[in-house]
Amino acid sequence: MAAVPEPITPRKFECVCARPVFFRNSECLVCHTPLGYDPERRRLLPLEPIAGTDLWKEARPRRPRRYRRCANLDAPSACNWLVDPADAGALDPPQCRACRLTRTLPDLSQPGNGERWGRIATAQRRLVSQLVGLGLPVKSRLSEDPDRGLVFDLLQSPPGGPAVVTGHADGIVTIDVEEADDPTREHRRTTLGETYRTLLGHLRHEVGHYYWQRLVEGSPWHEPFRRLFGDERGDYAAALKRHYDEAAPADWGARHVSAYASSHPWEDWAETWAHYLHMLDTLDTARSFGLDGESVELSYERFGNAALADSGDRNPGPFLAIVNGWMELTGVLNELSRSMGVPDFYPFVLSVPALRKLHFVHRVVGVRVPTAAAEPAARQELLHAQAPRPAWTERRG
């Protein structure tokens, strides 16, 4: 049996006591060693305090790095991430790479809003860890890149006031905090006929719009995008209104990863982007624990090179390995879900046109990234400065 590929963003970690610890842990539940996540190294580290300071160090190395703990460690978001002291000095309070992206919080004096923030922040850290692992630009509009950075506003509809709409506008992602309530989100999922709706899915979708601006718009990828996804210059508001008034075409699955993706090329990109991140992170988690599609006893008809003919990719093999391994792994995961009487883990079927769009996202992202510290030169050329552009906002029910 072939060795399982190394994950891009690992999800398996170990405490100094040799017990397993997990991405969300801030303390080992066995020996109570403090834990902190270093996003640059993509590792959850056992920590010990440095005497006479408010700094921490990794518990094992002889010459460990020094860290501060994120200021939101004891907040409702319960952030377990670490901050480089050099960065912390410029931030008041010292916030990690994920927390510094959040600009607006709901009123935490209101019942339930602390828990809502905690759920959204947990999903946000998962998202940001993956973006950093992929070498994508992740800078705060507040403290690092005021022109092209990213920021999250977590908003709540006032009683009797206008409804908050989850969406994106020129680097600003708005999240309706009511989506953190399972009954509310499930009701909307059912009402809108969605097979999948989660906080993490919302975040991955909305940042997809942001990275379209950063990586595609005005770049050499722009015209290939239009040939594959369609011309985004069509009336966006009218397209969304038509989608909600008339629903998706019955044959949307022949061309798109989801029904919502059929509404407009921008939404097709964002849904495909989110789908691609879902695939990579799930595979990373499986591979972290020694599991891969190649190691399960289930065989599907695999996608071959012919499915990506004329894509311009001279070596589509690595991407096809990702997708074929994914299909085999999720086939088993679906059966496990059915054994528990819950909905399928992966309720989608990929068509060849949808596969080609996922392949396009794969090429734009530039996987595989060798290190988290440096961006590939090819992508660096695409992260060109852009003049301010008119904001456009998605409207999701």
3-state secondary structure labels for all residues of 46-111:
EEEECCCCCCEEECCCCCCCEEEECCCCCCCCCCCEEECHHHHCCCCCCCCCCHHHEEECCCCCCC
Single pTM value for the model: 0.90
Q: How far apart are CA 380 and CA 194, in angstroms?
A: 36
Q: Is-contact 346 185, C-beta < 8 A?
A: no
Comparing CA positions, the residue from 213, 206, 249 lying closest to residue 396 is 206
Please give the average per-residue pLDDT across 263-289, as a whole number: 96
Q: Is-contact 183 252, C-beta < 8 A?
A: no
Residue-wise pLDDT tens digits, 293-337:
666 666 678 899 999 999 999 999 999 999 999 998 999 999 999
3-state secondary structure of 140: strand
Q: Where are the alpha helices (DSSP H) in the chain?
A: 85-88, 113-133, 182-191, 199-211, 222-229, 236-246, 265-288, 317-340, 352-365, 377-382
Q: What is the pLDDT of residue 395?
A: 44
Residue-wise pLDDT tens digits, 120-143:
999 999 999 999 999 999 999 999
Q: Is-contact 338 253, C-beta < 8 A?
A: no
Q: What is the pLDDT of residue 2?
A: 55
Residue-wise pLDDT tens digits, 209-240:
999 999 999 999 999 999 999 999 999 999 99
Whether 247 shows a pLDDT value over 90: the answer reads no
Whether 28 shows a pLDDT value over 70: the answer reads yes
User: Residues near 192 by Cβ (< 8 Å), separated by ≥ 6?
Assistant: 397
Q: What token pair was written down for 339?
A: 């054994």
Q: What token pair was written down for 52?
A: 């006479």
Q: Is-contact 368 8, C-beta < 8 A?
A: yes
Q: How far apart are CA 6 and CA 237, in angstroms?
A: 43
For the chain, the domains span 7-96, 217-365
Whether 286 shows a pLDDT value over 70: the answer reads yes
Please give the average per-residue pLDDT across 288-296, as a whole number: 77
Q: What token pair was written down for 124?
A: 């946000």
What residues form DSSP beta bridges with 282? Answer: none
Which is more confidently placed, 34 or 300?
34
The tokens 């699955």 sit on which residue?
253
User: Residues near 74 by Cβ (< 8 Å), separated by ≥ 6?
Assistant: none
Q: How far apart are CA 169 and CA 29, in angstroms?
A: 41
